[in-house]
């Protein structure tokens, strides 16, 4: 039976553009993984792999026009958004190159023998080594930053791990172009091009996570797809770490004092955040707890005006469009749910933004309104109107894990008066990033960033954005009483590589 073709599709028309590839067979997945596995030694030198990452960024930038054009044709995200995302992707690659050069990620710790300790301490030397081949599953909504050259790939390569990427079906042509660019960068530094593999097809993705030479996986996508791969990773004869980002509601709490102080600004800000990128961000605010009363009414009025002025847009593919329309239809049919601006179908290929309102009491206990506590991908949010603080808290207590949680406070509350600190404490167990007086869309690439959260936001406690994302692809090893001549240079007393380390309890830089 012939392998199924992989087509590039224009989401603005739903028409096929070109056949890009064919879906990979199990044998072809095996070939890609084995080629990646054979390339591990070429990444052993930190100077080589940091130079590789920088060259990759340079080559991606030099091909900007071609890449942005290809990405826009397959995603309809627009040249401005995509140019910015490509710049972010190149920044990530260079940031991880800096991390590799610095070496602190190796977490070197040396303890010399101490016979006076109880129990006695032998000579112990600890650092981190790469896990091996990493499977990367591309996201639909970030064709650069969470795809072939995205954060999972950049951090894995920085850790010294080759990758095999499962291309997303929404941008297969772009995936091929980016993979070819990374391979050219690798070859410029004597690294085999197999260090970055690429496969297409659903079954290929399943075969990939099951392959015995794959040592870890990174995924960004849906709860259903991510959980299936997570279960497959755990069911292997040798289970592997699966770092999956699955779904998030990203709750927002607006205090009555904040609404009274700046209802109009909050309403317009919410509209901008929930419709950004046609609502296709993993950190889109999907549930908003807003007070009843005059201040809350002003907020809803402002949100209504701002969302009404927002144009319809194209989703990443027609399957997502169908799911969005079906999800909106099911939610608007619930009792006591109103839609000041009804989301749904725009033209034949677009969707229009909107939002729903519901009394918070309907979400405070299990029932048919639980559907409103599930993510709906696209330009929609749910505004739950609460009567008092206890009612708002009862809704928060029912929420699963999230990537973000936000609170909008008044000036006095932000200064420490009222329940500001208490609300912050209530939100902390819910999310990996807690915001005050801001909006969650926009994830800065910075050393202190954490993009993750309790399940189902992610399947691990790690981050997929920021410098510490590299930790996902490393494991600690300690050598005990090993002769100095046999130790790797990272663990020798004279520190020939000049690494930051903790030496007999003292932090050395």
Residues recognised as catalytic: 245, 282
Question: How far is Cα 242 from Cα 334, in angstroms, rounded to an integer?
Answer: 36
Q: Positive or negative CA dihedral for 15, 314, 87, 155?
A: negative
Question: How far is Cα 267 from Cα 210, in angstroms, rounded to an integer?
Answer: 47
Which helix (H) or strand (E) segment is 256 a member of? helix 256-275
Nearest alpha-carbon partner for 472 in 221, 248, 219, 238: 219
Question: How far is Cα 398 from Cα 130, in angstroms, rounded to an integer?
Answer: 39
Q: Which residues of 268-386 form beta strands (DSSP E)?
A: 287-291, 338-341, 344-345, 351-352, 354-359, 380-386
Q: Which residues are CB-neighbours of 306 under 8 A, at least 6 positions away? A: 267, 268, 270, 271, 272
Cα 93 from chain centre: 16
Is beta strand 124-130 parallel, antiparallel or unpaired with respect to 351-352?
A: unpaired
* DSSP for 175-202, written as a single string: HHHHHHHHHHHHHTTT--GGGEEEE-SH
Q: Which residues are CB-neighbours of 22 under 8 A, at least 6 positions away? A: 2, 3, 4, 5, 6, 200
Structure-token pair, residue 339: 């839609």
């Amino acid at each position: 039976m012939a392998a199924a073709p992989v087509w590039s599709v224009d989401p603005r028309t739903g028409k096929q553009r070109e056949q890009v590839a064919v879906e990979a067979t199990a044998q072809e997945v095996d070939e890609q993984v084995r080629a990646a596995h054979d390339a591990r030694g070429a990444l052993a030198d930190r100077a080589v792999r940091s130079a590789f990452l920088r060259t990759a960024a340079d080559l991606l930038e030099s091909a900007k026009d071609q890449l942005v054009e290809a990405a826009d044709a397959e995603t309809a995200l627009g040249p401005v958004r995509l140019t910015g995302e490509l710049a972010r992707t190149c920044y990530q690659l260079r940031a991880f190159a800096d991390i590799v050069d610095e070496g602190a990620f190796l977490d070197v710790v040396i303890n010399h023998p101490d016979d006076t300790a109880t129990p006695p301490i032998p000579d112990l030397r600890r650092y981190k080594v790469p896990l091996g081949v990493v499977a990367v599953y591309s996201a639909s909504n970030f064709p650069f930053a969470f795809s072939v050259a995205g954060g999972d790939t950049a951090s894995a390569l920085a850790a010294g791990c080759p990758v095999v990427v499962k291309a997303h079906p929404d941008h297969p042509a772009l995936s091929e172009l980016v993979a070819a660019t990374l391979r050219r960068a690798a070859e410029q530094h004597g690294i085999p091009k197999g260090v970055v593999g690429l496969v297409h097809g659903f079954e290929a993705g399943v075969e990939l996570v099951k392959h015995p030479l794959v040592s870890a996986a990174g995924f960004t996508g849906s709860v259903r797809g991510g959980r299936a791969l997570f279960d497959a990773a755990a069911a292997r004869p040798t289970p592997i770490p699966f770092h999956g980002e699955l779904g998030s509601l990203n709750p927002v709490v607006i205090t009555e004092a904040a609404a009274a102080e700046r209802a109009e600004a909050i309403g317009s800000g919410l509209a901008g955040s929930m419709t950004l990128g046609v609502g296709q961000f993993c950190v889109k605010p999907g549930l908003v707890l807003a007070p009843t009363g005059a201040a809350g009414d002003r907020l809803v009025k402002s949100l209504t005006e701002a969302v009404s002025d927002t144009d319809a847009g194209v989703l990443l593919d027609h399957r997502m469009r169908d799911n969005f329309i079906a999800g909106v239809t099911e939610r608007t049919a619930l009792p006591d749910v109103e839609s000041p601006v009804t989301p749904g179908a725009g033209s034949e290929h677009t969707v229009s933004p909107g939002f729903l309102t519901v009394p918070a009491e309907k979400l405070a206990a299990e029932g048919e309104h639980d559907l409103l506590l599930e993510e709906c991908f696209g330009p929609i949010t749910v505004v739950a109107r609460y009567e008092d603080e206890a009612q708002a808290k009862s809704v928060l207590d029912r929420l699963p894990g999230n990537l973000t949680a936000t609170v909008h406070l008044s000036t006095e509350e932000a200064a420490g008066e009222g329940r500001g600190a208490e609300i912050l404490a209530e939100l902390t167990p819910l999310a990996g990033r807690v915001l005050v007086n801001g909006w969650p869309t926009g994830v800065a690439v910075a050393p202190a960033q954490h993009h993750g959260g309790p399940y189902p936001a992610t399947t691990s406690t790690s981050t997929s954005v920021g410098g510490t994302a590299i930790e996902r692809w490393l494991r600690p090893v300690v050598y005990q009483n090993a002769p100095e001549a046999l130790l790797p240079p990272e663990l020798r007393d004279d520190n020939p590589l000049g690494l930051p380390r903790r030496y007999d309890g003292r932090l050395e830089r």
